[in-house]
C-alpha cells in the first residue's frame, strides 16, 4: 500500500519536474493517472525548494535578490514546464480563431509574440508581488502558492474533458477524471501550506486564485470544449500569480 502510494507520488514528481526519482519507480499509464492526486504535493515540494533558497539567499543578499534566486530555483526544478504551457496557451488563444487552429498553434514548438509577452509578464508579476510581501511571509507564500495553484490545475482534470487525442500531448497520461476522495486527498496538501499564513490573507488569496481558475476554465470551455496539458500549465501560472496578488490585497475600513 505505502509502496504503491510512493510510486504514485514519484510518478507525479517525474512527470512535472526534473527532480530525480528512485530507480524502482515503474512506468505505467494507470500509475500516472493515479499520480494526479499528488499534483499539489509536488507543488508543496517545489515551493519548499523555493522557500529554502529564499531563506538561504536572504542571509547574504537583499530580499529582492533572494526572491529572484528562489524563482530561478523553482523554474530550474520544473524545467519551466508550466511557463511553457502558459506561453503555448496564450499563443493559441491569441492567434487562433477556431478550435483546430488554436490547438495547432498550441502544439507548435515555436513561441509567438503573445507567448513571449505572457511569460515576461508572469515572471515580472511574480517577482514584483513576492518582493512586495513582508519578507517573513515569502517562504510560506511560496509553499502555499505552488501547492494551491497546482490544485487549481487539478480541478480542471476533475471537472473538464481532455480535448487532444494525439499521444504526444503533455497531459495525455493524466486525461482522466479524479474522484471526490482523490480531490479531497489533493486538497490536504494545500491546507497544510495555507495553515502557515494569516487567515485573512488566505481568504483573499484563495478567492482570487479561484476566480482566475474559473475565468480560464470558462475560456477553455468556450474555445476548446475542454483542456489540454498547456491549459493546465496556464492555470497553474495564473492562479499562482492571483494568489500572491490576494496576499498583498488590503482594504481600508
DSSP state of 243: H
Q: How many CB atoms lie within 10 A of CB 53?
A: 23
Identify the band that residue 147 occupies on the pLDDT scale cut at 50, 70 and 90: very high
State pLDDT tens for residues 60-93.
999 999 999 999 999 999 999 999 999 999 999 9
Tell me what pLDDT residue 97 has.
86
Does residue 147 contact residue 190 with C-beta atoms inside 8 Å? yes
For 162, the 3-state DSSP assignment is strand
Q: How many CB atoms lie within 10 A of CB 130?
A: 26
User: Higher model confidence: residue 108 or residue 187?
Assistant: 187
Residue 98's region, left for phi above 0, alpha for psi from -120 to 50, else beta, is beta
37 alpha-carbon distance from chain centroid: 13
Give 35's contacts (C-beta < 8 A, 6+ positions apart): 8, 9, 11, 12, 15, 174
pTM of the model: 0.93
Which residue do the cell numbers 481568504 mark? Answer: 203
Any idea where the domains of the chain sit in the sequence? 2-248
| Closest-CA residue to 118 (of 92, 137, 90) | 90
State pLDDT tens for residues 156-211.
988 999 986 554 455 455 556 778 888 999 999 999 999 999 998 999 999 999 99
**d(C-alpha 202, C-alpha 206), whole Å:** 6
Q: Measure CA of the first residue to CA of the last residue in the chain; give whole Å.
A: 52
144 alpha-carbon distance from chain centroid: 11
Most confident of 30-34, 41-45, 94-98, 157-161: 41-45
Tell me what pLDDT residue 95 has.
87
> Any idea which of 11-25, 113-127, 215-229 has the lowest mean pLDDT?
11-25
| Closest-CA residue to 248 (of 126, 83, 72) | 126
Tell me what pLDDT residue 207 has.
97
Amino acid at each position: 500500500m505505502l509502496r504503491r502510494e510512493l510510486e504514485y507520488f514519484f510518478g507525479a514528481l517525474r512527470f512535472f519536474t526534473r527532480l530525480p526519482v528512485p530507480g524502482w519507480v515503474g512506468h505505467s499509464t494507470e500509475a500516472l493517472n493515479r499520480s494526479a492526486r499528488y499534483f499539489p504535493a509536488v507543488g508543496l515540494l517545489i515551493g519548499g525548494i523555493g522557500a529554502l533558497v529564499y531563506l538561504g539567499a536572504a542571509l547574504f543578499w537583499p530580499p529582492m535578490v533572494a526572491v529572484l534566486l528562489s524563482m530561478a530555483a523553482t523554474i530550474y526544478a520544473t524545467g519551466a514546464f508550466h511557463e511553457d504551457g502558459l506561453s503555448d496557451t496564450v499563443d493559441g488563444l491569441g492567434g487562433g480563431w477556431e478550435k483546430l487552429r488554436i490547438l495547432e498553434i498550441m502544439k507548435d514548438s515555436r513561441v509567438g509574440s503573445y507567448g513571449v509577452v505572457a511569460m515576461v509578464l508572469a515572471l515580472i508579476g511574480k517577482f514584483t508581488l513576492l518582493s512586495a510581501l513582508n519578507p517573513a511571509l515569502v517562504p510560506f507564500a511560496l509553499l502555499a502558492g505552488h501547492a494551491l495553484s497546482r490544485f487549481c490545475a487539478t480541478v480542471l482534470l476533475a471537472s473538464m474533458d481532455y480535448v487532444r487525442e494525439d499521444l504526444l500531448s503533455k497531459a495525455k497520461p493524466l486525461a482522466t477524471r479524479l474522484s471526490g476522495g482523490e480531490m479531497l486527498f489533493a486538497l490536504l496538501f494545500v491546507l497544510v501550506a495555507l495553515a502557515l499564513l494569516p487567515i485573512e490573507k488566505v481568504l483573499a488569496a484563495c478567492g482570487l486564485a479561484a476566480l482566475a481558475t474559473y475565468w480560464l476554465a470558462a475560456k477553455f470551455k468556450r474555445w476548446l470544449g475542454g483542456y489540454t496539458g498547456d491549459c493546465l500549465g496556464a492555470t497553474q501560472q495564473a492562479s499562482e500569480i492571483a494568489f500572491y496578488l490576494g496576499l498583498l490585497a488590503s482594504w481600508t475600513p
